[in-house]
């Protein structure tokens, strides 16, 4: 009995193959927007993290939800001015709470080619001097790397029916592991590419960087396109809070993102 047959037999016995067949038979795979042969890079989705009843991280006077919205609006304006051929979509434009699954749904409905989620970081009590920008791309759960994902995914608990709505994200379900892996690997390479380009752009702006990290951040998990979450700085560090709240700091962040998007477009699209 060869190895492949043994594997299929084991899966069948455990009931995984029947369940997977049922899921795949009704599963609609979205078009891979990352192909470069006839690919037109035309739609960027900007996601201002948190909002409404979800304030996000806090500084001494600033709230993450307000800072992210300010940066997102400035980013939209800059893209409209510097890359006028792009279609720019916002997941929120005011102080409204948008559930995490709805954010990715908005991006998917608009056939986005790139999903940029704007956030602020927060360090534990006693470590308020931590600083720097960090890029997160979606990755499977790994030991000791869950603090950021847990903090961002905490928004699901504000939704009344979160136990039902997010049941399919059970990381212990082998079928979910197979589907998520197949679904996200299509965009993994492009997400990491954009994360690296952001890292370089922030370096050019003189910004301290923590780098590109993999996390199981839920808002990235079902975006059918390359997606990166940008932790723009540590809002509970007084110096970082002032930087994130200032026009000069926000403009610097925006210009770094725009530069990275321009370079990403050159990398992935001939048009």
Can you give the pLDDT at residue 5?
A: 43
pLDDT tens digits, one per residue of 10-41: 444 454 444 444 344 434 444 444 444 456 89
Q: Calculate mean pLDDT across residues 111-115.
A: 94
Residue 105 belongs to domain spanning: 33-268
Are 17 and 69 in the same domain? no
Are 123 and 167 in the same domain? yes
Are 123 and 208 in the same domain? yes
Element housing 87 (H / E): strand 87-90
Are 136 and 21 in the same domain? no
Higher pLDDT, 194 or 37: 194
Are 92 and 175 in the same domain? yes
Are 86 and 220 in the same domain? yes
What SS3 state is found at 156?
Answer: helix
Is the pTM of the predicted complex or chain greater than 0.75?
Answer: yes
- pLDDT of residue 56 exceeding 60, the answer is yes
State how many domains the chain has: 2
Are 117 and 240 in the same domain? yes
- pLDDT of residue 121 exceeding 90, the answer is yes
* Distance from C-alpha of 162 to C-alpha of 192, rounded to nearest angstrom: 29
Least reliable range by pLDDT among 51-60, 63-72, 94-103, 141-150 = 141-150
Can you give the pLDDT at residue 198?
A: 98
Can you give the pLDDT at residue 84?
A: 96
pLDDT tens digits, one per residue of 254-270: 999 999 999 999 998 87
Buried b (16+ CB within 10 A) or exposed e, 212-232: bbbbbbbbbbbbbbbbbbbbb
Can you give the pLDDT at residue 224?
A: 81
pLDDT tens digits, one per residue of 142-162: 434 445 555 566 676 676 676
* Distance from C-alpha of 12 to C-alpha of 154, rounded to nearest angstrom: 36
Q: How many CB atoms lie within 10 A of CB 27?
A: 11
Q: Calculate mean pLDDT across residues 157-186.
A: 63
Are 52 and 177 in the same domain? yes
Are 164 and 240 in the same domain? yes
Higher pLDDT, 148 or 253: 253
- pLDDT of residue 51 exceeding 70, the answer is yes
Are 143 and 219 in the same domain? yes
Are 20 and 62 in the same domain? no
Can you give the pLDDT at residue 24?
A: 43
Residues 6+ apart with CB under 8 A from 21: none
Q: Calculate mean pLDDT across residues 108-132.
A: 91
What SS3 state is found at 227?
Answer: strand
* Distance from C-alpha of 158 to C-alpha of 99, rounded to nearest angstrom: 9
Token pair recorded at residue 59: 């500084």
Can you give the pLDDT at residue 214?
A: 87
* Distance from C-alpha of 100 to C-alpha of 102, rounded to nearest angstrom: 5
Q: Would you say 117 and 228 are in contact if contact means Cβ atoms under 8 Å apart?
A: yes
Are 22 and 122 in the same domain? no
**Residue 244: CATH number of its domain:** 3.40.630.40
From the list 202, 193, 197, the residue with the least C-alpha distance to 255 is 202
């Amino acid at each position: 009995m060869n190895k492949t047959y043994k594997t299929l037999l084991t899966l069948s016995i455990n009931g995984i193959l029947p369940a997977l067949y049922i899921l795949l038979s009704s599963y609609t795979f979205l078009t891979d927007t990352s192909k470069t042969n006839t690919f037109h890079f035309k739609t960027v989705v900007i996601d201002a993290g948190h909002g409404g009843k979800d304030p996000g991280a806090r500084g001494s006077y600033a709230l993450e939800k307000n800072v992210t919205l300010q940066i997102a609006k400035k980013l939209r304006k800059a893209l409209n001015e510097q890359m006028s051929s792009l279609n720019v979509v916002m997941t929120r434009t005011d102080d409204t709470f948008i559930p995490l699954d709805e954010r990715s749904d908005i991006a998917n409905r608009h056939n986005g080619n790139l999903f940029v989620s704007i956030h602020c970081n927060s360090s534990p009590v006693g470590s308020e001097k931590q600083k720097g920008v960090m890029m997160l791309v979606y990755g499977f759960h790994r030991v000791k790397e869950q603090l950021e994902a847990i903090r961002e995914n905490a928004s699901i608990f504000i939704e009344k029916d979160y136990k039902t709505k997010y049941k399919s994200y059970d990381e212990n379900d082998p079928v979910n592991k197979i589907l998520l892996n197949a679904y996200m690997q299509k965009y993994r390479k492009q997400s990491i590419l954009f994360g690296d380009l952001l890292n370089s752009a922030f370096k050019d702006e003189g910004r301290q960087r923590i780098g590109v990290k993999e996390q199981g951040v839920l808002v990235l998990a079902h975006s059918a396109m390359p997606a990166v979450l940008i932790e723009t700085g540590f809002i509970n560090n007084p110096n970082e809070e002032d930087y994130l709240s200032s026009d000069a700091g926000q403009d610097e962040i925006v210009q770094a993102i725009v530069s990275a998007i321009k370079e990403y477009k050159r990398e992935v699209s001939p048009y």
